[in-house]
């Protein structure tokens, strides 16, 4: 399987944008479900067109390895990395500005975590009288 690569137009689209890294004060790492798989939500990306920049937030509780990965991905955002999960961007208005937000989760390789998620889904779907 070939690794994901941005197209030439995706690389050019936000080429002039800067990247700023911050610590998230209101968010911490949490377990989430991503397309039926267990994931750890570890970062939040903002694209702010009016300021021509991306802001990358490190969630509290991220590991050193996760921070390295988040930093590498964040630095790649202006060069086409923004398009890696193009369908996950959500438009929001904050302080009168249109911004685009995306939360990133790393998929868990642990089969027991996957089983736990499936059991939680089964338990939540049971009907009680």
Q: What is the pLDDT averaged over residues 93-113? A: 84
Q: Tell me the HSE value of 69 on the side-chain side, using a 13 A CA sphere.
A: 12
* pLDDT surpassing 80 at residue 55: yes
Q: What is the pLDDT averaged over residues 49-63? A: 94
Beta carbons within 8 Å of 102's beta carbon, 6+ residues apart: 44, 45, 85, 88, 89, 90
Rounded to two decimals, what is the model's pTM? 0.79
Beta carbons within 8 Å of 26's beta carbon, 6+ residues apart: none
Query: What pLDDT is recorded for position 71?
Result: 96
Confidence of residue 39 (pLDDT cuts 50, 70, 90): confident
Query: What pLDDT is recorded for position 1?
Result: 46
- Determine the longest span between alpha carbons in the chain, in angstroms: 58
H/E segment holding residue 124: helix 111-125
* pLDDT surpassing 60 at residue 76: yes
Give me the DSSP letters along 12-54.
HHTTT-EEEEEEEEEEE-EEEEETTEEEEEEEEEEEEGGGTEE
Which tops the pLDDT comparison, 82 or 109? 82
Beta bridge partners of residue 97, listed in sequence order: 94
Q: What is the pLDDT averaged over residues 50-67? A: 94
């Amino acid at each position: 399987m070939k690794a994901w690569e941005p197209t030439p137009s995706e690389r050019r689209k936000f080429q002039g944008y800067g990247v700023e890294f911050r610590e998230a004060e209101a968010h911490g790492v949490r377990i989430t479900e991503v397309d039926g798989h267990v994931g750890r939500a570890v970062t939040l990306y903002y694209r702010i067109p009016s300021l021509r920049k991306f802001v990358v937030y490190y969630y509290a509780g991220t590991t050193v390895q996760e921070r390295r990965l988040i930093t590498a991905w964040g630095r790649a955002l202006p060069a086409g990395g923004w398009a890696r999960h193009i369908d996950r961007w959500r438009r929001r208005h904050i302080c009168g500005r249109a911004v685009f937000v995306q939360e990133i989760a790393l998929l868990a390789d642990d089969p027991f975590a996957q089983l736990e998620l499936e059991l939680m889904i089964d338990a939540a779907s049971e009907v009680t009288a």
